[in-house]
Structure 1
Amino acid sequence: MEKIFTKKLNNIDIERRIVLSENLIKGFPRGHEEYLKFKDEDGRVWTFRCRVPPGGSSRPALSGDWFVFVRSKQLKVGDVIEIALDREKDRSGVDQFTIRFKKQLDR
């Protein structure tokens, strides 16, 4: 498993969408939308909508079931997520990611 992204969550990540780094999905075209699979620490597979805006930024953003994930895990501003590329593909041969989180200690 290759860790490819770590981020401390902010208000926008919790309330609107989470913007990822450009290198997370190589060759992802602008204006393109795809549904990506993420497996959590409990083995549950989540499907998040991933979109790269057609304008200037080429940074992908996750939305859709991302908000269900945030509420389910009770994530808050300051918590950290880690995304890794899982070398095992899903049944249809599509890349699958692993997502983990670390809660902020001072709650």
Structure 2
Amino acid sequence: MFIRIVKMSFHQEHIPKFLGNFDLMKEKIRNAPGNRFLELYQDKNNPEVFFTYSFWESEADLESYRNSELFYDVWQFTKQLFNAKPEAWSVDKVVSLP
């Protein structure tokens, strides 16, 4: 299992659109094959910046999602709202404390 972190920055006026669409799509994303966890965070110092944090069973599962119609629909809507280029990281968990 690995973690995918995506940083997105939006024009202030588009944040309600992003949040509304995320609310509509979050269960579909979470239920994509191989997805085991999904959270959305908003930066405390810059409310235009959001992060998705998701756990995937394998890189192949993430790639399948990224090549799916669901991802296409989500991304086509979301990318129109950005005020900066998104950034993404795939990371392995090294340490986790309960």
Into which bin does the TM-score normalised by the smaller protein fall?
Answer: 0.3 to 0.5
Question: Whose RCO is larger (CA < 8 A, sep 6+)?
Answer: 2
More helix by share: 2
TM-score, with length taken from structure 1: 0.33
